[in-house]
Structure 1
Amino acid sequence: MPQNDKKLPPCAQNFLKGRISGNPADITLHRGSPFELTGNSVTFGSDVYLAGNTFGRSDANALIHKFHEIQHTSQNARLGLSTFDHIAAYVVFGGHDASPYEQAADTFADDAYKAYKAAGLDKTCPF
């Protein structure tokens, strides 16, 4: 039976300390998303529900996507945001990609992945 949820490995938690708000040890990745039909992952608090086959992958695109969602856990911790706040931002700013929360998560994901890879963690600490 496949694993359906997992915590970040300690090496990933150590990498994220100081890079995100909240405790990286509190983050749980879950296989599947309530928005699976639309292909969208979603974050509730420190729980990340990954759409598609991202949960079991650790290639560059999967890690970038996971870092994007991890940034949402940081936004939730730092700003007290809920999923509904993120959705409201989509409406106010004219769509998902126009939301400043999404843009910040995209920037964080790209930068975090580059640093993770530069440290060799993409090979030694996949998640």
Structure 2
Amino acid sequence: MTSTLYRSFLRVLEKWPVEPTKKGRDLGQHIRLCVAEAFRGSDPHESSKCQEIQESLNRIASNKYNDAFYVSGAVSSSGLSQSECQQILSNEFLKLLAEKDKGNIKTLKEKFLKSENKDN
């Protein structure tokens, strides 16, 4: 039973996209790690709960609800398109945002200290 369930999880994970712009924060990557960990020390009594989780993930990965309740046009609370949202949530943008939040003096100080360390 557990080997069949594990194979069904693997089939669902094949459908799940990996977001290269979100290394370390990707939901698909997190789910893969959780599945591997759960089956490493698997308890046969929890197979019904695992089956429910696998079915839920399969519904999400196959866009069941997106197809059933389709909304035409780009709809988001921010008013941004899907590609703009992906750009904003990327690791590069978050790093840029963190740099901007530091302020000019802190940024200059860090650059000065880095260049000073390179000279030594």
- Please state which band the TM-score falls in when normalised by the shorter chain: under 0.3
Q: Which has the higher contact order (CA 8 A, sep 6+)?
A: 2
Structure showing greater radius of gyration is 2
More helix by share: 2
TM-score by length of 2: 0.25
More strand by share: 1
